[in-house]
């Protein structure tokens, strides 16, 4: 059924693979378009890509489930293949985005993350400049 028509099939897409591809696209958009109207609406029905609970909508639960798709590499497969370019630091989360050698500071320095009160801060908010020197 899923084979192309030219090869004797019906040309029906493998819905599981197609769904994973669409969820991957949405996952990317959620990570990069947090100011868009669609994100602000969907945020009311779930919390984030960081948590998965029964109160979230089915869409958010499926999106969070992307991290657990076994045939695609298992836990964290999607994020493992992303790299973040910091730029001015306004769009990169200090603790939660993989901007230091592909790892998040939340994982590299979990004890500091547990102690901080600025868990949602971006890099630009965490870095100051004094006498030409940048300080965290």
Over the stretch 67-119, which tens digit does the pLDDT of each residue have? Answer: 666 555 555 666 666 666 778 888 888 898 878 777 788 888 999 999 989 88
- Among 71, 31, 29, smallest CA distance to 49 is for 31
Range 38-65 average pLDDT: 71
> Helix H segments across 1-136?
15-32, 37-42, 58-65, 77-80, 105-108, 110-115, 123-126
Structure tokens at 90: 């306004």
| pLDDT value at residue 48 | 61
Cβ contact 95:116 at 8 Å: yes
The pTM for the full model equals: 0.50
Structure tokens at 100: 């230091």
| pLDDT value at residue 11 | 79
| pLDDT value at residue 50 | 58
CA distances from 131 to 127, 128, 136 (A): 13, 10, 14
């Amino acid at each position: 059924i899923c084979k192309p028509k030219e090869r004797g099939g019906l040309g029906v897409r493998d819905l599981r693979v197609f769904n994973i591809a669409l969820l991957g696209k949405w996952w990317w958009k959620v990570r990069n378009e947090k100011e868009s109207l669609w994100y602000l609406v969907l945020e009311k029905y779930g919390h984030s890509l960081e948590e998965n609970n029964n109160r979230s909508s089915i869409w958010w639960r499926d999106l969070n489930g992307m991290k657990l798709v076994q045939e695609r590499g298992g836990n964290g497969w999607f994020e493992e293949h992303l790299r973040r370019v910091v730029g001015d630091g306004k769009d990169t989360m200090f603790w939660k985005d993989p901007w230091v050698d592909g790892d998040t500071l939340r994982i590299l320095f979990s004890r500091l993350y547990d102690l901080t009160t600025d868990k949602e801060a971006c890099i630009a908010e965490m870095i100051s400049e004094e006498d030409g020197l940048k300080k965290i």
